[in-house]
Copies of this chain bind each other. A is one copy, B any other.
């Protein structure tokens, strides 16, 4: 199959860039040093490639991701790095033979793990980003309570998400060390063999964690460009120009592609057209000007501003080498 055969809009993954990203990360963080985060791509076939690069444990953000990974035979060691108040579906995954560990940061989430039939937990520690996680000084007591309730506490996790995009690498490293100091102190109180954290932006400098939860590195995000990372942008949205308008009087010309608000995660702003100037998106349209005006029927590859929520809008991704479509993978971990 060729690119021209695809229905648009379509997620397109550059096979070479993806493979280079997976190989570079596996060299930097071999085997269990990386627990790839599947939320970035929501695609079990891509997870299989990560497994082939030596990473057998995976990080998930939703119960559905855990279920889907286990159903795909990738359930050797799944971490739900998120809090849930109803863990019964996770318990069913454990019952079916997969290994599932869930984050807890409160008595309520501890109780949900017990009630749901999940037997292994990590204590989620707030290391500076105002989101989930217990205060570091209270982590030990929560671990004690978890063990008293019959749970196995495998260690701690703490995500320095607020630092992933800090542009200056030295500053990012300094701030990351501040976070991991908090996490290591909590780990002293909690015990267990795992100290988990980190992401694509801090993967090289977060040396305190025993395992890093990076996900974006596989497909990469334009927003990470400022962070000077070695990974290549592998994902674009293929679209078709459906309408063009020539310049008239003071009004410049423009073109309209068939990919809009329902094809792009918009929280980082508009997607970008190489060599073009994006005016706005509506539900199924992207309006842009281009130095070399396109014609109706032309194909355009558009760079999403944020990969993770973009992927969540598509049913499948196509792996391509130039104009050849090598493979089509279902984005099978969507939903909740």
Contacts and interface: CB of A to CB of B under 8 A. Distances in A.
A77 interface: no
A61 B284 contact: yes
A134 to B, nearest CB: 8
A266 interface: yes
Given A85-B296, A105-B243, A242-B84, A267 B248 contact: no
Interface string A277-307: 0010111110100000001110000000010
A243 B132 CA distance: 6
Contact of A242 (B85, B245, B251, B336): B85
Contacts of A126: 245
Query: What's the number of copies of this chain in the assembled complex?
Result: 2
Contacts of A240: 85-86
A224 to B, nearest CB: 15
A335 interface: yes
Interface string A236-258: 00001111110010010010101
B297 A39 contact: no
Interface in A124-177: 126, 130-133, 135, 161
B248 A135 contact: yes
Nearest to A295: B108
Contacts of A132: 242-243, 256, 285
Interface residues of A, number: 60
Given A130-B254, A256-B132, A282 B161 contact: yes
A207 interface: no
Given A39-B283, A108-B297, A283-B308, A265 B254 contact: no
Contacts of A161: 282
A282 B9 contact: no
Interface in A93-136: 105-106, 108-109, 126, 130-133, 135
A241 B132 CA distance: 10
Contact of A7 (B251, B261, B314, B336): B336
Contacts of A63: 7
A312 interface: yes
Contact of A267 (B10, B244, B266, B296): B266
Contacts of A8: 336
Given A83-B242, A84-B242, A295-B108, A313 B312 contact: yes
Contacts of A267: 261, 266, 281
Interface string A1-35: 00000011110000000000000000000000000
Interface of A: 7-10, 39, 61-63, 82-86, 105-106, 108-109, 126, 130-133, 135, 161, 240-245, 248, 251, 254, 256, 258, 261-262, 265-267, 279, 281-285, 287, 295-297, 306, 308-309, 312-315, 334-336
Report, nearest first, the 5 A-B pairs whose CB atoms are least far apart: A108-B296, A266-B267, A83-B242, A132-B243, A261-B309
7 contacts: A39-B283, A82-B258, A82-B284, A85-B240, A105-B243, A131-B243, A132-B285
